[in-house]
Amino acid sequence: MITIAVKASRDYDILIASGLLGQLGDRAKALHPNAAAAAIVTDDTVGQLYLKQAETVLKEVGFSVVAYSISPGEASKNGTQYLHLLDWLAERQITRSDIIIALGGGVVGDLAGFAAATYLRGVTYIQIPTTLLAMVDSSVGGKTAIDLKAGKNLAGVFYQPSAVLCDPDVLDTLPEPVFQEGIAEVIKCGMIGDGRLLDQLLNEPIQDNLSHIIAACVTIKRDIVERDEFDHGERQVLNFGHTVGHAIERLCDYSIPHGHAVAIGMMVETRGAVKKKLCPPECLYLLESLLHRFQLPGHTDYSAQELYTAALYDKKRAGDEITLVIPREIGRCELMTLPVAQLLAWIEAGCQS
Ligand SMILES: NC(=O)c1ccc[n+]([C@@H]2O[C@H](COP(=O)([O-])OP(=O)(O)OC[C@H]3O[C@@H](n4cnc5c(N)ncnc54)[C@H](O)[C@@H]3O)[C@@H](O)[C@H]2O)c1
């Protein structure tokens, strides 16, 4: 068992171990001895695979269990679904001493987390991430959200869970393209904070090291979140590859998967940094080799001008300035604020081969 302690507005542990889903009941009981009911939020695909086991182990330790399932996918992370979930919790008479359990990928985690944060002004919740992306990224750090018509994740709060249980066994059922999207975020973590992780990804079979790879990513994110829980500065470094990545998603109306857009974004942003002599070329070669190894794209047909126009919507823009995440060496990125007027030149440099 790997335990990673998080010190934030609520302290909690992130546990990583094979078979952890089978321990959900005991662990939930130990954390919340006075809770009578557990409300599981899942999606239809994950529910079919893992809901029964989760319900059984929770009932074995005395919880009364209710379950709410959404259609899989981003389209379910909306205001209507959120209010429906709150009504459902109220109808099931879930109280502040009960617990909510998010069993699923990032969509379930973000929606259930936001509901837990706001229902009765806050009910404790446990995250059981079931995708690689959710294990290494969305379940860590307490960002919860739903999408609005104007864009993704536009309504949400910071609300930390009481525990995160990562059971890598559940990744066995994950479709390959969804796993691959998680790999893009794993590479991002390595680029931000752990050159050894990148080395390991390039040279060792990933399946043999999954728990340690998840732990390495979680540790990087944990360290950053502990220093900047509410995203006022350093936490933005986790958006490496996302300025261009989000621009690509916006341009294609989200038809390109997020992980692919981030992979291309990392390449453009790293090449830009190399061209500006802020980053050694080895960093770009390594990134290129990793994307190649995991069959992730590194090139876009959108022009620099198109990417620039779409990137002006970036969250890290404030008035006439925009903050970019710049790789400075293998395993280290820095924030750099520049006038928006210079962004086009950056993207142009990043798009040239
Ligand atoms: N809160 C944060 O800090 C944060 C960070 C990154 C991303 N996110 C959010 O995460 C979401 C994306 O998460 P995701 O990539 O996990 O997508 P997802 O939750 O949509 O899951 C992807 C697909 O995999 C299926 N699935 C999940 N686990 C499975 C399993 N074990 N076996 C078989 N199928 C399984 C799901 O049913 C779904 O169809 C986005 O909404 C994004 O905004 C949040």
pLDDT tens digits for range 162-171: 999 999 999 9
Whether the pLDDT of residue 353 is over 80: the answer is no
What residue owns the CA closest to ligand 1's atom 42?
A: 106
Cα distances from 222 to residues 12, 194, 225, 235, 328, in angstroms, run 11, 13, 5, 10, 21
Residues 246 and 251: their CA atoms lie apart, in Å, by 9
Residues 42 and 76: their CA atoms lie apart, in Å, by 11
pLDDT score, position 314: 74
Task: Give 176-220 pLDDT, tens digit per residue.
Answer: 999 999 999 999 999 999 999 999 999 999 988 899 999 999 999
For residue 87, count CB atoms less than 10 angstroms from its CB and return exposed for 0-12, middle for 13-18, buried for 19 or more: exposed
Q: Where is average pLDDT lowest: 17-31, 93-107, 298-312?
A: 298-312
pLDDT score, position 150: 81
Using the mean position of ligand 1's atoms as its centre, give its distance from the Cα of residue 331 in Å. 25
Alpha carbon of residue 295 to chain centroid: 20
For residue 282, count CB atoms less than 10 angstroms from its CB and return exposed for 0-12, middle for 13-18, buried for 19 or more: exposed
Whether the pLDDT of residue 21 is over 80: the answer is yes
Ligand 1 close to Cβ of residue 225 (< 6 A): no
Whether the pLDDT of residue 4 is over 80: the answer is yes
Residues 6 or more apart in contact with residue 32 via CB below 8 angstroms: 97, 99, 124, 162
Ligand 1 close to Cβ of residue 141 (< 6 A): yes
Task: Give 34-92 pLDDT, tens digit per residue.
Answer: 999 999 999 999 999 999 999 999 999 999 999 999 999 999 999 999 999 999 999 99
pLDDT score, position 316: 77
Using the mean position of ligand 1's atoms as its centre, give its distance from the Cα of residue 179 in Å. 10
Taking residues 242-267, report their average pLDDT.
94
Percent of the chain with pLDDT over 90: 92
Q: What are phi and psi of 166, to 5 degrees?
A: -105, 115
Count of residues making up the chain:
353
Alpha carbon of residue 205 to chain centroid: 23
Q: What is the mean pLDDT of the chain?
A: 95
* Ligand 1, pocket-test mutation among 77, 82, 166, 178, most atoms within 8 A of CB: 178
pLDDT score, position 85: 98
Using the mean position of ligand 1's atoms as its centre, give its distance from the Cα of residue 304 in Å. 30
pLDDT score, position 152: 87
* pTM assigned to the model: 0.95
Using the mean position of ligand 1's atoms as its centre, give its distance from the Cα of residue 321 in Å. 32
pLDDT score, position 207: 85
Whether the pLDDT of residue 315 is over 80: the answer is no
Ligand 1 close to Cβ of residue 229 (< 6 A): no
Alpha carbon of residue 62 to chain centroid: 32
Residues 6 or more apart in contact with residue 89 via CB below 8 angstroms: 39, 68, 100, 115, 119, 123
pLDDT score, position 15: 98
